[in-house]
Chain A
Amino acid sequence: MGGAVRWRGLLAHGVAALFCAAILLPLLWLVRVALTDKLTAYKLPPEWVTPRLHNFVEIFTDYPFLTYFINSVVVAAGSTAVALPLAAMMAYAFARYDTGGLPLRLFVLSSQMLPPVILVLPLFALFLWAQLLNTWFALIIAHLTISLPFLSWLLVAFFQGDVRLLEQAARIDGATRFQAFLKVTLPVTAPGLLSAGLLAFILSWNEFLFVLILSGPQTNTLPVGLSAFQTQRGVELALLSAATLVAIAPVFVLLPFMRRYLIKGLSLGALK
């Protein structure tokens, strides 16, 4: 009996370890390559050398990597800052007033079902006409087409939950609809809003296609910047690895917060 349980435990841990390896190994490989020199980076079986940080220095000195980084921050933060309040209001309207009914909700969702490549060409034409190509503004608008419908759908669930009852309590207590939204609904759903905002930020941070088509050298964000290491002479593997690590670092920093707020958002001890 005890032996069977132990074997089952070992098996479970073994499977879990395999999964962890599948997820972690590429990342660890990335770290290894980023810390080697350009030649060693290509060698198979891998060769171990003293770790050096010169790749990280080079991407910032020889490449406009800092510009890419700033562009990414501005576009991701900008699109999130616009998307979150708009999506919150839209989701609130869906949840409370059933605005537009199911057809409107499905319409909003359907925009998510389009392959981005279908959206990007009309957007290119529009921005060309408006002379907005190669601007932060264009990228922010373009990313809104992804994050706005996504967030609206995500947030409906937050507003449909128990907070509805709290809002009613506030209305009875003497609050107008707007006061109830501002003083009760928003603070109570804040963790959910925040985690949704982080998701939107990450979506925009990682977006490649829109940036590739709609931006130029001055407004390229990190994902497109990374593709620059794929040169005619081949892939600059060591530099690309270092750049990739820098690009995913903010997401790693944000993830623990997101998890905490998401859990907090889902389990508010408000109602018995």
Chain B
Amino acid sequence: MAQITLKNLGKMFPPDVVAVADVNLTIGDGEFFVLLGPSGCGKSTTLRMIAGLEEATSGDILVDGRRVNDDDPADRDLAIVFQNYALYPHMTVAENLAFGLKLRKVAPTEITSRTAATSRMLGIEPLLKRKPRELSGGQQQRVALGRALVRQPKAFLFDEPLSNLDAKLRATMRTELIKLHQSLGATIVHVTHDQVEAMTMGQRICIMKDGHVVQVGPPMEVYRNPADTFVAGFLASPPMNLLDARVVDHAGGLAVALGEARLAVPGAFNGAYGAWRDRDVVFGIRPEDMHDGAGPGGRTPLDVRVVAVEALGPEVVLVAALADGREIHARLGPGFVAPIGSQQRLHLDLGAMHLFDRETRKAIAQRGTG
């Protein structure tokens, strides 16, 4: 297994489209690393540059400390699983698995034993004699995975391999990939636009936007401390509520002015947010940090009008409007019911609030000097 380092990596498509700009990342040996972002953010291009399918226009790609920019894809010894699997249609499953080994001049007995072991692990033994077109989507996916595994490469590159599967199969494969990673201890770079995949699978996730890295970190840390409004609005569904607001003086401390409402800022944040007094900010709060009960105390009330109640089973998503009409989402317990149009009082856990600079969209530090 290997460590992959990207140094100032950039990709420009002629004439002047910047697909990836100045990406610096170190993917640890044995790490499950997820590149997450909306389509067109450069995550796939980054992966393809690592694989050698796309030439980097600037910067370095290092595998185990060795620069591989000029190496042929074949010589990098990485395996990639494509979104549409790219199985060789004229070969059987067994031939698909063996193809890479044959090219690398692995001994025939070794090929047989490795193909057998891999197909057993993935449960595709009964399919070995079939052609790809005779397989279902999920089976093709397994074969594509097997083709990568059987080679025992330095690292695995996954280019949205789950996005063509239906929701149920995707969830199953997600779990299997996590298990696989644990048993192999392989370095995996997984590209996805699905934040659930990223949150559940990645040991660290890297969020990209417009070719730039916005934030890198363990999923929960990125979730709890988003670097800017983009990350805050991208992770989770429904995502963080982001509302234009203003920091004002209030009862000897600070408050967030949300239209007519005043939400008192917890004392612990006063030092950091003090510098933002009378300035425009974006107020952020996650749907699960709003409750329909006052709780043990310390929650701040906010009156809203019910727009929609979406009962999802284990929880209820309340879509509500503030006095000025702006909509927010709250994630409430399964027992919540309220007629559409009625007034409700939500209780906000402001210890979990976030403030962002309205101009730069960057998070404002909650502690320290700000």
Contacts and interface: CB of A to CB of B under 8 A. Distances in A.
Interface of A: 162, 165-166, 168-176, 179, 183-184, 187-188, 268-272
Interface string B212-239: 0000000000000000000000000000
B86 A173 contact: no
Given A174-B103, A270-B132, A272-B164, A168 B86 contact: yes
Q: Which 9 A-B pairs have the closest CB atoms?
A: A269-B133, A173-B100, A270-B89, A174-B103, A169-B86, A271-B84, A187-B90, A171-B73, A174-B74
B271 interface: no
A187 B133 CA distance: 15
A168 B51 CA distance: 10
Contacts of A172: 51-53, 73-74, 78-80
A268 B89 contact: yes
B82 interface: yes
B72 interface: yes
B87 interface: yes
Contacts of A272: 84-85, 137, 140, 164
Contacts of B286: none
B74 A171 contact: yes
B168 interface: no
21 contacts: A165-B82, A168-B86, A169-B82, A171-B72, A171-B73, A172-B52, A172-B74, A173-B74, A173-B103, A174-B100, A174-B151, A179-B103, A183-B99, A188-B90, A268-B89, A268-B133, A269-B132, A270-B87, A270-B88, A270-B132, A272-B164
A204 B137 CA distance: 44
Contacts of A165: 82, 84, 86
B191 to A, nearest CB: 15
Interface string B73-105: 110001110101111111000000001100110
Contacts of A270: 86-89, 132-133
Contacts of B89: 166, 188, 268-270
A166 B103 contact: no
A173 B99 CA distance: 7
B104 A174 contact: yes
B96 to A, nearest CB: 9
B147 interface: yes
Please report whether the interface of chain A is mostly helix, strand, loop or mixed according to DSSP: helix
Interface string B132-162: 1100010010000001000100000000000
A187 B84 CA distance: 19
Given A169-B80, A171-B53, A176-B72, A271 B147 contact: no
A10 to B, nearest CB: 39
B88 A175 contact: no
A210 B339 CA distance: 85
A73 to B, nearest CB: 30
Contacts of B103: 173-175, 179
A184 B88 contact: yes
Given A268-B89, A270-B86, A170 B99 contact: yes
With a 10 A CB-CB cut-off, give which of A166, A168, A188, A272 has the most chain B CB atoms: A272
Contacts of B151: 173-174
A32 to B, nearest CB: 46
Interface string B22-61: 0000000000000000000000000000011100000000
Interface in B156-199: 164
Nearest to A270: B89
Contacts of B87: 169, 270
B72 A271 contact: no
A173 B52 CA distance: 12
A173 B84 CA distance: 16
Given A168-B53, A170-B99, A188-B90, A175 B74 contact: yes
Contacts of A175: 74, 103
With a 10 A CB-CB cut-off, give which of B51, B99, B137 has the most chain A CB atoms: B99
A242 B72 CA distance: 60
Contacts of B90: 187-188
Nearest to B75: A174
Contacts of B72: 171, 176
With a 10 A CB-CB cut-off, give which of B89, B133, B151 has the most chain A CB atoms: B89
A30 B79 CA distance: 62
A84 to B, nearest CB: 19
A248 to B, nearest CB: 34
B183 to A, nearest CB: 23
A271 B132 CA distance: 9
